[in-house]
Structure 1
């Protein structure tokens, strides 16, 4: 079902990690993640590894709004967080967006692929 109101402000980082440092990067990212998720405007963040591109990670974080994210982005704690992860990076990019809809499966959905197909 689509959300009736505007969703959160979303930030997506594409991070290229130096070859051979992927496992250490994942460990450090988890160790320093509290510096992001403890901010009162953060709604959560996710780390995903690309299955198509070697050494590429995507970090997605949701915020209550853009102004509060920008407040965090210029904070001392964020700078320290970036400095901890910087030795692993060989490149990256940031994309910001506003979530306009959110669909969920809801309770009572089909248990198997076959049941899902039969509901057409």
Structure 2
């Protein structure tokens, strides 16, 4: 078992019907904004498969909450969020601390 102290942010976004592919492209085009942050451990865009259409999850892992909160207040973050806003009909955010991270047999790292 690997104990970890990473901080995870999970956004749930409902995208307007017919705007999903465009949303994906805009998210990807701006993903380097997060990827350049020294405290960022990784990020993922995921499409929900077992609920209503147009549900996406954006997940990012950070070395700690302080690193995430510092990024959250930057002009780069606000601009990226502004670019995504027209696609979103509603959304929510949850933050959490990872207690254990357990890799399976197929884990390469």
**Do the two structures share a fold, i.e. TM-score over 0.5?**
yes
Query: 2:26 & 2:91 partners in 1: Cα distance?
Result: 17
Of stretches 49-58 and 92-101 in structure 1, the one that deviates more from structure 2 is 49-58
SS in 2 for 1:105: coil
Report which of the two has the higher share of strand: 2
Query: 2:48 & 2:105 partners in 1: Cα distance?
Result: 27
The alignment's TM-score, normalised by the length of structure 2, stands at 0.92
1:21 aligns with 2:19: yes
SS in 1 for 2:101: coil
SS in 2 for 1:59: strand
Aligned to 2:31: 33
1:95 Cα offset (Å): 0.1
| Larger of the two Rg values belongs to structure | 1
SS in 1 for 2:42: strand
1:31 Cα offset (Å): 0.4
Q: How many residues are aligned here? A: 105
Query: 1:24 & 1:17 partners in 2: Cα distance?
Result: 10
* Runs of at least 4 residues off by over 4 Å: none
Mark the runs of 5 or more structure 2 residues left unpaired by the alignment.
none
Cα RMSD of the aligned pairs, angstroms, is 1.1
1:43 aligns with 2:50: no
The alignment's TM-score, normalised by the length of structure 1, stands at 0.84
